[in-house]
């Protein structure tokens, strides 16, 4: 199940980005007291009441302007509304209701989506009394908030989560035996061609035109008793290069596809080499905790010698330092070279991603690692690792209970991760390590 999507919309300068940052709990959007600063959608993952969701921050909507730039921002916001599960409509208590607010409300009513009407900049009882005019927008209850002071954000998030689609409990059980695989990468690296070559039929349109695949396309296949769901996604490119509204819409679908996958195939173009955007896309999959396989496509076009595979693999390891665990497969979707290997590699990394280690065996490995390389100390106090337990899979997540968490230096944590990989493999999957003090044990 992918994360629900929440879009923040409204006029310029009503505080959408400030609210976005307050919920994300970090500075993601640029906040400046000038209309038009947020020119593009920005994305972030947030959590409330154990429910993760993806947020989209949009540019300010000015319904009357005919300026092409303003029209583009308006189109982007409308696309975000179309894709969102819940829309947060932000208005300004200080300026009161405007004609633009009324026009935006009309658009929102047509979406038939759950809308939470957030009256921002309510910093005094007087302003709270003035918010009642916004009931005239016909969008139901109004929610007084102050994004800058974090006033009433809990109630706002309660209303947002309440609007999320309800899980289909009957369908969820069938997905347990499926390995969900998303193909990701820049436009025109050959994702659709790889997709078609793996599933053995023309399910996606294959074209030399970047961005042909607009939406995520799911295909279920069965290979040697294993069920796979392949999700072909639209190519993701740098925000500065994305001009067409429908292509920006496809980026949301790609991020959503990563969220609901178990394994991602990070497709690279051998003929173009590794670009900065490749690292950004792969970084999202890594941060989302997904198993990852590098698929170097168009290998038939690469000028090779006896060391080509080794050199390209080393380049991948250097450029993607955070993905040292991901296997690399060199393929040609055109000639079908090594395509047959992909289902086997996908199945293997999916098993690694879902691996669970018995607590006794786990602690034995940790104790051996400690005996080889004792924990660090600071000001005469030595780090003591009391015990370790695995708390979840997909990705494998371990809690280290220690005497003082601040003594667990990142380099020693990396050492422990390497020892876990040496002992159990975990190829293709990130590992999450959580360090807690002994009082957290209870």
- This prediction has a pTM of 0.68
**For residues 191-208, average pLDDT:** 71
In this prediction, residue 41 carries a pLDDT of: 39
Higher pLDDT, 388 or 229: 388
Which DSSP category does 379 fall into? T
In this prediction, residue 205 carries a pLDDT of: 47
Q: Is 324 helix (H, G, I), strand (E, B) or coil?
A: coil
**What number of residues does the chain have?**
442
For the 5-162 domain, the top CATH level (class) is alpha beta
Which DSSP category does 360 fall into? H
One fold for 5-162 and 359-441: no
Q: Give the sign of the dihedral formed by CA 334, CA 336, CA 337, CA 338.
A: positive
Q: Give me the helices (H) in 320-373, please.
A: 341-353, 359-372
Phi, psi for 71 (deg, rounded to 5): -60, -40
pLDDT above 80 for 173: no
Among 129-133, 320-324, 402-406, the minimum mean pLDDT is found in 129-133
For 23-55, how does the pLDDT look when each residue is reduced to its tens digit (9 = 90+)?
A: 887 544 444 444 433 334 367 778 898 888 888
For 244-260, how does the pLDDT look when each residue is reduced to its tens digit (9 = 90+)?
A: 444 444 456 667 778 88
**For residues 186-207, average pLDDT:** 75
Residue 225, Ramachandran bin (φ over 0: left; ψ between -120 and 50: alpha; else beta)? left
Give the percent of the chain with pLDDT over 70.
83
Among 65-69, 108-112, 241-245, the minimum mean pLDDT is found in 241-245
Give the percent of the chain with pLDDT over 90.
50
In 3D space, the residue among 176, 290, 299 whose CA is nearest the CA of residue 233 turns out to be 290
In this prediction, residue 330 carries a pLDDT of: 97
- In the block, which residue shows the tokens 């006033």? 151
CA angle, 405 then 406 then 410, to 5°? 95
> How many whole angstroms separate alpha carbon 125 and alpha carbon 129?
6
**For residues 4-22, average pLDDT:** 90
What's the chain's average pLDDT? 83
Residue 228, Ramachandran bin (φ over 0: left; ψ between -120 and 50: alpha; else beta)? beta
Higher pLDDT, 69 or 148: 148
Task: Quickly state the pLDDT bin for 298 (edges 50, 70, 90).
Answer: very high
Instruction: Respond yes or no on whether the N-terminal peptide bond of residue 408 is cis (omega within 30° of 0).
Output: no
Task: Quickly state the pLDDT bin for 232 (edges 50, 70, 90).
Answer: low
Kindly list the domain boundaries of the chain, sorted by start residue.
Answer: 5-162, 170-353, 359-441
Task: Quickly state the pLDDT bin for 332 (edges 50, 70, 90).
Answer: very high
Q: Under CATH, which number does the domain 170-353 receive?
A: 3.40.50.300
Cβ neighbours for 312, distance < 8 A, ≥ 6 positions apart: 270, 296, 302, 328, 330
In this prediction, residue 155 carries a pLDDT of: 93
In this prediction, residue 373 carries a pLDDT of: 96
> How many whole angstroms separate alpha carbon 355 and alpha carbon 262?
13
In this prediction, residue 37 carries a pLDDT of: 36
Which DSSP category does 337 fall into? B
Tell me which architecture the domain covering 359-441 has in CATH: 2-Layer Sandwich (3.30)
> How many whole angstroms separate alpha carbon 178 and alpha carbon 257?
15
Higher pLDDT, 390 or 190: 390
Asked if 119 contacts 151 with a C-beta cutoff of 8 angstroms, the reply is: no
Environment class of 196 (CB within 10 Å of its CB; exposed 0-12, middle 13-18, buried 19+): buried
pLDDT above 70 for 355: yes
In 3D space, the residue among 179, 211, 207 whose CA is nearest the CA of residue 193 turns out to be 207
């Amino acid at each position: 199940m992918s994360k629900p999507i929440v879009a923040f919309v409204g006029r310029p300068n009503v505080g959408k980005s400030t609210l976005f940052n307050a919920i994300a709990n970090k500075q993601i959007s640029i906040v400046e007291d000038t209309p038009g600063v947020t020119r593009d959608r920005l994305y972030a993952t947030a959590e409330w009441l154990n429910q993760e969701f993806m947020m989209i921050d949009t540019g300010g909507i000015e319904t009357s302007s005919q300026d092409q730039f303003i029209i583009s921002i308006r189109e982007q916001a409308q696309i975000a509304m179309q894709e969102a599960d819940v829309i947060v409509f932000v208005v300004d208590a200080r300026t009161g209701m405007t004609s633009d607010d009324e026009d935006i409300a009309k658009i929102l009513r047509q979406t038939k989506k759950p809308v939470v009407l957030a009256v921002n900049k309510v910093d005094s009882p007087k302003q709270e009394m003035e918010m009642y005019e916004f009931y005239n927008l016909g969008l139901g209850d109004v929610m007084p908030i102050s994004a800058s002071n974090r006033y009433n954000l809990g109630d706002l998030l309660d209303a947002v989560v309440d609007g999320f689609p309800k899980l289909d409990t009957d369908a969820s059980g069938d997905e347990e035996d499926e390995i969900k695989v998303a193909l990701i990468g820049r436009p025109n690296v050959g994702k659709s061609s790889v997709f078609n070559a793996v599933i053995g039929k023309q399910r996606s349109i294959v074209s030399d035109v970047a961005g042909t695949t607009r939406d995520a396309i799911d295909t279920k296949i069965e290979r040697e008793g294993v069920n796979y769901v392949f999700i072909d996604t639209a190519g993701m490119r740098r925000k500065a290069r994305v001009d067409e509204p429908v292509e920006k819409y496809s980026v949301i679908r790609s991020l959503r596809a990563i969220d609901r996958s178990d394994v991602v195939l990070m497709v690279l173009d051998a003929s173009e080499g590794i670009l900065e955007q490749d690292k950004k896309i792969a970084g999202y999959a890594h941060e989302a905790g997904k198993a990852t396989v590098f698929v170097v496509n168009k290998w038939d076009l690469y000028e090779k010698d006896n060391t080509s595979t080794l050199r390209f693999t080393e380049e991948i390891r250097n450029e993607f330092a955070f993905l040292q665990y991901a296997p690399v497969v060199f393929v040609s979707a055109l000639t079908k070279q090594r395509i047959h290997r992909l289902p086997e590699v996908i199945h293997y990394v999916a098993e690694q991603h879902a691996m669970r280690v018995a607590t006794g065996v786990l602690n034995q490995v940790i104790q051996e690692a400690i005996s080889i390389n004792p924990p660090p100390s600071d000001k005469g106090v030595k780090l003591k690792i009391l015990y370790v337990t695995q708390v979840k899979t997909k990705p494998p997540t371990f809690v280290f209970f220690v005497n003082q968490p601040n003594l667990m230096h990142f380099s020693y944590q990396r050492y422990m991760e390497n020892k876990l990989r040496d002992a159990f493999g975990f190829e293709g999957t990130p590992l999450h390590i959580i360090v807690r003090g002994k009082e957290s044990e209870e």
